Structure 1
Amino acid sequence: MKWRPVQQVCLSVCWKFYEHLHFISFFCHLKPVIKVFFLLSVGKKIKNMDNVIAKSKSCRVDCNNVDRKLRQILDLTEDEAHFHMKQSAFLYQLGVQTMSKTFHCLLMRLTVEFFKSPSVNMQHSSAYKIDNSNYVHYVIFSRNVLALSVTINSTTINSEEPNSMVFHVLTDKQNFYSMKHWFARHSYREVTIHILNFDELKSNHFSNMGLGELSMPEEFRISSHTTTQPSPLQMNTKYLSVFGHSHFLLPDVFKNLKKVILLDDDVVVQKDISFLWNLNMGGKVIAATEFCEVKLGQLRSYLGATGYDNNSCAWMSGINKIDLEKWRELDITGVYQSLVRKLKQKNDAQWRAAALPVNLLAFHGHIYTLDNTLIQQGLGHDYGVSEETVQNVAALHYNGNMKPWLDLAIPKYKKYWKSYLTRDERYMEECNVNP
């Protein structure tokens, strides 16, 4: 590169100029005889300076080298920005998926207290309700006792006939005893709450299904942009919620029930939804809200090319009514098993990703469409939902990463969830749980 010669020339010029300034100042104070002596050397110095200036003018800066250097700096800056973006995304996901110390403390305290003190056996006194079709049966899959309690509390408070409600909660062995103790300590308008250990059910009755641990409702991030919004920063992002693999055991877990209402544990109910129990579904298996921003034809790479209507909308979990008799008649679980075998998952990530095509294909043509005004979706990711809409709908679904019990939650929606949170709980205070 030619940067070094240019720098040397510039330094030479500056130094020569500096020398001449000192020389002139010194020359003015000399006697006339001595001045003559110095004047003889002035011409030589001026000539040398002219040579230096001419040399500097002959050196040209190579613009290609400057361009290359600037591009290197730009590439290094982009790499650093990309690294920080990836690190930020990783930490965000870690914050979303990891149980905080306070929640873990609450879970441990409840579990320990279950074995230390004799809990009130709520299920024994109301065991006759568990399989009785004269009651309204709700099913919730959950690992989060606070989220579960808010869903049950909000549904109960806003029900006109809470005494007719039975909640069946499917959880894993890690949370089973903490949930039993929590609901033994807290009553919700005297509704019946039936806690089931999924791991025990699986080992005793469904070991041939090949299911792993309890799978919660799965959420898939769908991103798209229109022609009016071509920028990646303006992409429209939604979360599509569907059943987890464990949901396909419902007809076998509840063999004596003909129908159930299924709730996700990130749902807050604001009005009475018991009308769903007597809803005529016209021979369909599931009642669900549609998600028409995603058509099945857009998911061809996941679903294959045949066996469905390309213009059909996807559907959402959150609040669903399930006709278990129709499910058994159509052998939806068998269809599910066949689809799972075709997909041939090799790891846990592929297993979870298979929930989307399995749900959309297994229930294709068997969905009864609920009114979209029943439930407001997207409160876990969409900042644009109006206050009026949130207040007027029957239920709120916090689908998305920003769940209401996390610090990452959207503040303006969080208050609706917190209003149904249990207060004055000793273990929450001791563990500093304040979502």
Structure 2
Amino acid sequence: MKATAPPAKRRRGPRLAVLALVFCSLLVPIAFLFNRFPAVYVTDERPEQEVILPERHSVVVNEMKQPGRSDAKPDTQDAPVKISKIDNVPSRVITKPEVLPPPAIERAKQIPVPVPVPVLHRNGSNPNVNIRPPRVPSADELEKAKACQLEFGSYCLWSIEHKEVMKDAIVKILKDQLFVARSYYPSIAKLKGKEALTRELKQNIQDHERVLSESIVDADLPSFIKKKIEKMHQAIARAKSCTVDCNNVDKKLRQILHMTDDEAHFHMKQSAYLYNLGVHTMPKSHHCLNMRLTVEYFKSTTLDSDDSLVHKFNNPDNRHYVILSKNVLAASVVINSSVSSSEETRNVVFHVLTDAQNFYAMRHWFLRNTYRESAVNVINYEHIILENLPEFSMQQLYMPEEFRVFISSFEHPTEKSRMEYLSVFSHSHFFIPEIFKDLKKVIVLDDDVIVQRDLSFLWNLDMGDKVNAAVKFCGLRMGQLRNLLGEATYDPQSCAWMSGLNVINLEKWREYNVTENYLQLLEKFRNNDDEASLRAAALPISFLSFQNLIYPLDERLTLSGLGYQYGIDEEIVRTSTSLHYNGNMKPWLELGIPNYRKYWKRFLARDERFMDECNVSP
């Protein structure tokens, strides 16, 4: 007989490799969900950065005249600054989602979260904001609110406004019964002679779990649910009549409570991630609009720039506005609102600085659309820096930087804390005098600003020896930023200031060598070469570069906070000279605050076919 060879042993290597790959593929999405939302998102807008500050004692936290409470008296001492790290980003100022500035209004609702106060305009007060008196929260509620805002930022305010009260009473009864039954089941299962009750409790628990897995509202519950509830009620009553160790029941209830809290926190992290993704990502319709405009620009042969307007661009006698933007709709709304509010537009010129990616879309839009007699000059910032100013390494266009600050009081921990946003100049702003060498004065507008009144009076403003006319925000003093400003020389009592609407004297800028001072400060404050460190440095650099060079504008010139504060009086919004939508909830996003979006949408182009084709409907 011919011997047959034994069967070959199966190789386990490939099978183990496949199993390992499958296991890793399951772990990746789970780790993604459990991880905090990332520090950087794909976006056409500026992500915020974060700083946590204790509150100045001189700042009145609550301007709402609560019954039985007098206004706080100012104190001359500065509270020390505390910087905390959030999202595990290794820097003192944390990039991504929000640092300081206008006011944070929190409206008190029947939720354990304190709702901020009316906008504390630059001098720390705004008595004109009318808000209903809030319920005074307890110290424990305040701590929970602080922790929420520290971890999730403006998502907390948004979630409070959009919180839905549970109206499904039967579902709530099912959940309550399930919690009680689970707490008694382990103790009953250990008792002798209670096997029937143990089986009944286990069966009822399984039935409740099955029903709740399929139904989340009363309308979805099966018709026999009342019988299930009655059976569970009787089983729980019998369990309570048994002699059990109360400590075991208490321990089990606490365990269920902690598991429920963990589950709620997990879902809150998921919701906060989706919220931040929504506010920091360009909507698909906006991306479509940019692509269509770019393609149309290269296809079009009829539209061409009007050479007759070129002479206006460098004429220092004209009124020049500068806008940094990567958003076509936002830039167009700023220009349209400014022109619509102006009495005379023949000598008005708008310079839109954008990046290479959005340049052709922006250019084609403003070739297709005219704004009375004003001229619009679209400039590729990255190209002009590379070609004409190669000595400057900051070739990327940076939008105005937004910071979120959480201001609380160490000495009065039960006082309401404030979460506020502050917009400051980005690194790109410091090259404006080099780009417009022939101009003497410009007005710089952020692309989240709309103008409701004529600004022509600003061109006659005598700024003296000052360089930057800005609205000051005295809710924050330089002394509170000592941890950020380091050993630099500064006046600790000087107020912070806001970008959004700024009058810049370019002649004084060049005389005081502000750009050169900025480059020196950049070397000092930039800890490393990553973008997070670079953008975090914008806050101290902006304040120190304009030390003693700020001309204070009337605080009524700009109403800030429309991108994160709920509850600003509509009359105040309607009558303000300009509106600044600083914060996460920009008006061109679906997450924008509805009460304020309508003012922005008034100046949106309505007869653009590309907007209809891309379903752009802010």
Residues 308-329 of structure 1 show CA distances to partners (whole Å, capped at 9, x for unaligned) of 1111110001110101111111
Residues 327-351 of structure 1 show CA distances to partners (whole Å, capped at 9, x for unaligned) of 1111111111111111233321221
**Residue 370 (1) aligns with residue 553 (2):** yes
The residue aligned with 1:30 is none
Contact 2:187–2:248 (CA under 8 A) maintained in structure 1: no
Residue 435 of structure 2 aligns with an amino acid whose one-letter code is: V
Residues 176-224 of structure 1 show CA distances to partners (whole Å, capped at 9, x for unaligned) of 0111111111100021100100110122133432325210001111222
DSSP-derived class of the 1:222 partner: strand
How do residues 110-149 of structure 1 correspond to structure 2 at under 5 angstroms? 110-149=293-332
**Residue 106 (1) aligns with residue 289 (2):** yes
> Cα gap change, 1:13/1:142 in structure 2, threshold over 3 Å: closer, same or farther?
closer
> Cα gap change, 1:257/1:67 in structure 2, threshold over 3 Å: closer, same or farther?
same
Contact 2:187–2:249 (CA under 8 A) maintained in structure 1: no
DSSP-derived class of the 2:259 partner: helix
Residue 485 of structure 2 aligns with an amino acid whose one-letter code is: L
Identity %: 54
> Cα gap change, 1:101/1:13 in structure 2, threshold over 3 Å: closer, same or farther?
closer
Whole-Å Cα distance in 1 between the matches of residues 566 and 373 of structure 2? 36
Residues 142-181 of structure 1 show CA distances to partners (whole Å, capped at 9, x for unaligned) of 0111111110011011111101101011000111011111
**Residue 407 (1) aligns with residue 600 (2):** no
Residue 307 of structure 1 aligns with an amino acid whose one-letter code is: T
Residues 213-260 of structure 1 show CA distances to partners (whole Å, capped at 9, x for unaligned) of 21000111122246899569x532211000111001011101111111
Residues 247-301 of structure 1 show CA distances to partners (whole Å, capped at 9, x for unaligned) of 0101110111111110011111011102112210011010000111111111111
Contact 1:146–1:421 (CA under 8 A) maintained in structure 2: yes
The residue aligned with 2:599 is 416
Contact 1:377–1:399 (CA under 8 A) maintained in structure 2: yes
Residues 116-150 of structure 1 show CA distances to partners (whole Å, capped at 9, x for unaligned) of 01253335221111111110010000011111111
The residue aligned with 2:517 is 335
Residues 76-99 of structure 1 show CA distances to partners (whole Å, capped at 9, x for unaligned) of 222222222221111111111111
The residue aligned with 1:21 is none
Displacement of 1:60 in angstroms is: 7.6
> Cα gap change, 1:2/1:236 in structure 2, threshold over 3 Å: closer, same or farther?
closer
Residue of 546, 553, 568 corresponding to 1:385: 568
**Residue 318 (1) aligns with residue 536 (2):** no
The residue aligned with 1:261 is 443
Contact 1:123–1:193 (CA under 8 A) maintained in structure 2: no
**Residue 284 (1) aligns with residue 466 (2):** yes
How do residues 26-65 of structure 1 correspond to structure 2 at under 5 angstroms? 61-65=244-248
The residue aligned with 2:422 is 240
Count of residue pairs the alignment pairs up: 391
Residue 267 of structure 1 aligns with an amino acid whose one-letter code is: V
Give the TM-score normalised by the residue count of structure 1: 0.85
> Cα gap change, 1:13/1:204 in structure 2, threshold over 3 Å: closer, same or farther?
closer
RMSD (Å) for aligned C-alpha atoms: 2.4
Contact 2:283–2:589 (CA under 8 A) maintained in structure 1: no
The residue aligned with 1:82 is 265
The residue aligned with 2:337 is 154
Contact 2:386–2:395 (CA under 8 A) maintained in structure 1: no
> Cα gap change, 1:362/1:119 in structure 2, threshold over 3 Å: closer, same or farther?
farther
Residue 369 of structure 2 aligns with an amino acid whose one-letter code is: H
> Cα gap change, 1:13/1:190 in structure 2, threshold over 3 Å: closer, same or farther?
closer
Residue 399 of structure 1 aligns with an amino acid whose one-letter code is: N
The structure with higher relative contact order (CA 8 Å, sep 6+) is 2
Whole-Å Cα distance in 2 between the matches of residues 385 and 295 of structure 1? 24
Please identify which structure carries the higher helix content.
1
Contact 2:467–2:506 (CA under 8 A) maintained in structure 1: yes
The residue aligned with 1:303 is 485
Whole-Å Cα distance in 1 between the matches of residues 373 and 197 of structure 2? 95
Displacement of 1:102 in angstroms is: 0.8
Structure 1 unpaired stretches of 5+: 15-58
The residue aligned with 1:7 is 191
> Cα gap change, 1:220/1:5 in structure 2, threshold over 3 Å: closer, same or farther?
closer
**Residue 249 (1) aligns with residue 249 (2):** no
Q: Over alpha carbons, which structure has the higher Rg?
A: 1
The residue aligned with 1:175 is 358
Whole-Å Cα distance in 1 between the matches of residues 317 and 479 of structure 2? 41
Displacement of 1:303 in angstroms is: 1.2
The residue aligned with 2:74 is none
**Mean Cα deviation higher: 197-206 or 177-186:** 197-206
Residue 573 of structure 2 aligns with an amino acid whose one-letter code is: V
Displacement of 1:12 in angstroms is: 8.8
Whole-Å Cα distance in 2 between the matches of residues 204 and 166 of structure 1? 23
Whole-Å Cα distance in 1 between the matches of residues 279 and 459 of structure 2? 34
Residue 168 of structure 1 aligns with an amino acid whose one-letter code is: H
Whole-Å Cα distance in 1 between the matches of residues 436 and 302 of structure 2? 25
DSSP-derived class of the 1:209 partner: coil
How do residues 160-239 of structure 1 correspond to structure 2 at under 5 angstroms? 160-225=343-408, 230=413, 235-239=417-421
Contact 1:404–1:410 (CA under 8 A) maintained in structure 2: yes
